[in-house]
Amino acid sequence: MAIREAPGHTPRIRGRALALLLVLCGTIFLEGSDVAMLAVAVPAIRADLGLSTGAAAWVMSGYVLGYAGFTLLGGRAADLLGRRRMFLTWLGVFLVFSMLGGFAANGWMLVAARFVTGVAAAFMTPAAMSIITTSYAEGPERDKALLVFAGVGAGGFSTGLVLGGLLTEIGWRWVFFAPVFLAGALLLAALGLVPAEPRPERAEHGYDLLGAAVAAAAMLLFAYGIVRLEHGAEGLGPTLGALGAGPALLAVFVLIERRATAPLVRLGIFRKSAMVRADLAALLFLGAFFGFQFIVTLYLQEVRGWSSLRAALALIAMGCDAVLAPVLTPRLVRRYGNGRVIVGGFLLAIVAYGLFLPVGPDWSYAAMFPSLITAGTAFALAYGPLTIAATDSVAEEEQGLAGGLLYTFTQFGSAVGISAVTAVYGIASAGTDGSPAAVLDAYRTALAVPVVMVLLGAAVSAAGLRGGSRRPRSPRPSWRS
């Protein structure tokens, strides 16, 4: 049972409530570290399996397609079919297909395993988030849980970069096997800790299967088109076709939902301006963060000649958010409200990415450090409060949907950010002599993309301040078992 502190203090989460939060945070750590470890291991996988550049890219893209394509459906499934059931089932699927990826003998097996692992994450992650938003009391207690959840997820990515470098030295297959052990431990703990819930009643008019199929197809096409943007003019036809078909299917989905007696997505949820603004801001923030991190990684390895492990150790400074998010951010949110803290995070991100724009061919780590530590601090300030804002005004029976929408936007944001910086880099480097100076100039040009994205995100977030920041609310009953 959680113990409430005096007003003005950050609430402490203890006992069974803390154990549950640790399990749920373990799954978001698992998801974040899994992606990061694979990003480091791709060169070794490519060399060992003899993959082409395109096939190696799809090892990463397959996961993004599965995750982005099914997150909306996964979030709603948690509401309709049961959060506990979806969480446990898809955590098990994540475990199995991560293990199968480690046994893959060729490229197509590995891509297929990564796609299904992404689908599993698309169902598992919104379910975990909705368990938090329905198990902890609305107000400071829930906010603290969500801030810890968001911080651990980002910390998992930063930690995964280092673990990926270490495990790849042993053998790239351990990048797939290591998550199996963590997933197994989490699954065993979750069986006894995730709260039981009444078996969801079947909808009076059944489930919106047609809407689910069209939504998944639209998201898959969107994700496919965005991922292909990084290939530039190569294969432009399929890219434009996917990006054109995605909106068309989305329009069909809206028509289906308007006529459905039991819609997959209640369209009225998009009238919640705070939720929509938070989702859009999260897309821009995550896109900028991962785009920046991607370009810096390339700079360290291709321009400076650093090893993947050394580059990963350098970037770990950005993981400071794992410490700051649960310690500093809750205090700032309680004092200033979500809105002001989110805008502060965006402003710090502008500073962080702007400081890196004049990067030179022989910058010392001391010259890079201010950008990296500031970027991590910005993440700590913005991402957790954005998570709160995206679910704060949503009814309990739609918390899974709200989580699904948030993770849909963040996954698309990550894909857009990486694809955009890659495309800009490709355009900037086209026709050059390929010299180190030309490569560095192209990187500087690509670094403008994250700056533009956080500038737009700051404008979107600041628009919400006109309505006033959310102030601390009166506490409701504490954690429910």
**Structure confidence at residue 347 (pLDDT):** 97
pLDDT of residue 202: 58
- The residues with which 3 forms a beta bridge, in sequence order, are 12
Fold type of domain 269-464: Growth Hormone; Chain: A; (1.20.1250)
Instruction: Write the DSSP string, 107-142.
Output: HHHHHHHHHHHHHHHHHHHHHHHHHHHHHS-TTHHH
Amino acid at 365: Y
Q: What is the pLDDT of residue 161?
A: 78
Amino acid (1-letter code) at residue 436: P
Nearest CA among 312, 303, 315, 409 for reference residue 363: 303
With a CB cutoff of 8 Å and minimum separation 6, the contacts of 206 are 262
Residue 173: which residues within 8 A CB-CB, separation 6 or more? Answer: 102, 103
Domain boundaries, the chain: 16-195, 269-464
Q: What is the largest CA-CA distance in the chain?
A: 66
128's CB contacts (< 8 A; 6+ apart) are 24, 27, 28, 87, 149
The CATH code for residues 16-195 is 1.20.1250.20
Instruction: Rounding to the nearest 10 degrees, give the CA dihedral for residues 316, 21, 129, 77.
Output: 130
- Angstrom CA distances, 338 to 251, 344, 404, 412, 462, stand at 33, 10, 21, 23, 11
| Residue 432 dihedral angles phi and psi, to the nearest 5° | -85, 170
Mean pLDDT in order along the chain per 10 residues (481 residues): 42 79 92 85 84 72 82 85 93 96 92 93 92 85 84 79 84 93 95 81 63 83 76 70 86 88 82 91 92 85 81 83 81 88 96 95 93 93 90 82 86 83 83 81 92 96 69 44 39
pLDDT the model gives residue 188: 96
Beta bridge partners of 12: 3
Fold agreement (16-195, 269-464): yes
d(CA 422, CA 233): 12
User: What pLDDT score does 7 carry?
Assistant: 43
Dihedral, CA atoms, 295, 299, 301, 302, nearest 10 degrees? 110
